[in-house]
Amino acid sequence: MRLYEFDTLPGQGSMGIFHTLAREGIEALCLVSPASPLASVGYFQDASAEIDLAYCAENGVPVMRREVGGGATYLDANQVFYQVILHRDNPLATRNISELYRTLSAPVIATYREFGIETRFRPVNDIVTVEGERKIAGEGAGNIGECMVFVGGILIDFDYETMAHILNVPAEKFRDKIYETINENVTSIYRETGTRPSRSEVRGVLIEKFSPLLGKMEPAYYSDELHNKNDATILQMTRDAFLYKRTMKKPGHVTIRSGVEFISGMHKARGGLLRTASVLKENVLEDVTITGDFTLLPIDGLSLIEEGLRGAERNRGEAGSRIERILTEEGLQLPGVSVEDMLLALKIEE
């Protein structure tokens, strides 16, 4: 097992490296931070639907698609990424995916404990604080070449504002809502302890905690050959044909942490366009915002619909009956907009 320990690599290079190592069939633990910020989308996402590309272009934040799942995220030098690359026949890699996540998350949980934070693994792929259930590491896994890769990041600090800006939202009114949701559900070492350990300190603890699991690791040299191959990987992964490839994953779903989602929707009804933003927690509508160019009388009735949906199970039966009840009891008039239109705007399809 090789150990590639970098302080930083150029933004996209920090994510390209685990792809390159996997394609080369090199088993390794790679620790790295991006020297400059970037936005990354999961393999099953549509970059143009998930990322505010105009904001990223204006602010010099490059965008790349990775070959593992998960959601859109913002990466910068305040994060230390751990990337485990294993041959597919490695006993660790042959475990089922749920067991693999738990096993490889254990050294990360031990690392956070070293910095005074008690955390636990939360299926499907998050590490959260024991107190407050706030996400402090997101992880992903996938097959690349003949290898299996497992990746995640230690959050020394986190830029909530930029994260909220890189995400695509149906209307700017919803930007504050997604910021609030991220702010409430994502945390960092600095936020939990008031201290910022150096990247070097974090890497040292990660190496110590991963060593019993991965065995002896030999420090490896980032050769010119590997560097050139990584450049070629980045070129391939940032081509438009790959970056903007459409997949089957529905746009508008942002996983803040396991169990908490921000869902934006849009539906053109006969009576006008409806835009919605919902915060979903454990399949319950925790918050709902509705905007659009429809007609509603009386005009203050919209807040009654929004408030009436809070706390509802996100299914057609409960959400639909609540909307119907509010419309009837409050005498609200929504010409050309039916309960079905509202459910479609909320992206409640089942």
pLDDT of 171 reads 75
Mean pLDDT of 73-95: 95
pLDDT of 257 reads 87
Mean pLDDT of 23-52: 92
Torsion of CA 38, 43, 47, 50, to 10 degrees: -90
Mean pLDDT of 13-33: 97
pLDDT > 50? residue 316: yes
Q: Residue 138 is encoded by which pair of tokens?
A: 């997101």
Q: For 183-232, what is each residue's pLDDT tens digit?
A: 999 999 999 999 999 999 999 999 999 999 999 999 999 999 999 999 99
Find, among 316, 18, 264, 279, the residue nearest to 139 by Cα: 18
Question: Token pair 């609200």 is at which residue?
Answer: 332
pLDDT band at 42; cut points 50, 70, 90: confident
Q: For 99-116, what is each residue's pLDDT tens digit?
A: 999 999 999 999 999 999
Average pLDDT of the chain to the nearest whole number: 93
Q: For 322-332, what is each residue's pLDDT tens digit?
A: 999 999 999 99
Mean pLDDT of 112-135: 96
| Residue 240 and residue 227 in contact, taking contact as beta carbons nearer than 8 Å | no
Other beta carbons within 10 Å of 231: 15
Task: List, in order of start, the domains of the chain with CATH numbers.
Answer: 2-243 (3.30.930.10), 259-345 (3.30.390.50)
Q: What's this model's pTM, rounded to 2 decimal places? A: 0.86
Task: Return the beta strands (E) in 216-315 as ranges.
Answer: 218-219, 253-257, 260-269, 272-281, 284-292
pLDDT > 60? residue 247: no
Mean pLDDT of 79-102: 94
Q: For 259-304, what is each residue's pLDDT tens digit?
A: 899 998 889 999 888 989 899 999 999 999 998 889 899 988 999 9
pLDDT band at 248; cut points 50, 70, 90: very low
| Residue 175 and residue 142 in contact, taking contact as beta carbons nearer than 8 Å | no
| Residue 282 and residue 350 in contact, taking contact as beta carbons nearer than 8 Å | no
pLDDT of 264 reads 87
